[in-house]
């Protein structure tokens, strides 16, 4: 089955520093990947759609200069939280699908717990 690998699983950083999260599709190519943010006891909120070879599409209210997305290859998308602050602390999850043209089969990574101190 489709596997999406996400690293790191958790990270603690100091306020003002930047953190990079990687999302890899292990056994399929993904021209599109999705990045979500999830606060405790809440649902997943789509932050942006990552497109291989082009700019990401951000959802309304998401700061694109704050959350930099790079989709440099068909199997790797990265999310960089720049100048992180405590309010950026959250659970970040990526997703991809080997059959996006049919709109199904979304597989999620294991998530990254970011804590900014």
- Contact set with another protein (CB under 8 A): 6, 31-32, 34, 42-46, 49, 57, 91, 93, 95, 97, 100-111, 113
What does the radius of gyration of the chain's CA atoms come to, in whole angstroms? Answer: 13
Q: Compare residues 77 and 107 and give the one whose CB is closer to another protein.
A: 107
The vertex-43 CA angle with 41 and 45, nearest 5°, equals 130
Query: Measured from the CB of residue 11, what is the shortest distance to another protein in angstroms?
Result: 14
| Of 112, 98, 117, 85, the residue nearest 20 (C-alpha) | 112
Q: Which residues contact 39 (CB under 8 A, 6 or more apart)?
A: 90, 91
Query: Measured from the CB of residue 14, what is the shortest distance to another protein in angstroms?
Result: 23
Q: Compare residues 44 and 68 and give the one whose CB is closer to another protein.
A: 44
Query: Measured from the CB of residue 18, what is the shortest distance to another protein in angstroms?
Result: 23
Q: Compare residues 19 and 30 and give the one whose CB is closer to another protein.
A: 30
What span, in angstroms and rounded, lies between the C-alpha atoms of 86 and 30?
Answer: 32
Q: Compare residues 31 and 82 and give the one whose CB is closer to another protein.
A: 31
How is residue 104 annotated by DSSP? B
Query: Measured from the CB of residue 38, what is the shortest distance to another protein in angstroms?
Result: 9
């Amino acid at each position: 089955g489709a596997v999406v690998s996400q690293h790191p699983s958790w990270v603690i950083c100091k306020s003002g520093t930047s953190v990079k999260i990687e999302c890899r599709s292990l056994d399929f190519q993904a021209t599109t990947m999705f990045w979500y943010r999830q606060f405790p006891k809440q649902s997943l909120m789509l932050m942006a759609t990552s497109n291989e070879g082009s700019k990401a599409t951000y959802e309304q209210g998401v700061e694109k200069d704050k959350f930099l997305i790079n989709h440099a290859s068909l199997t790797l998308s990265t999310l960089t939280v720049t100048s992180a602050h405590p309010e950026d602390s959250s659970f970040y999850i990526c997703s991809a699908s080997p059959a996006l043209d049919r709109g199904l089969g979304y597989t999620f990574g294991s998530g990254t717990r970011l804590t900014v101190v």
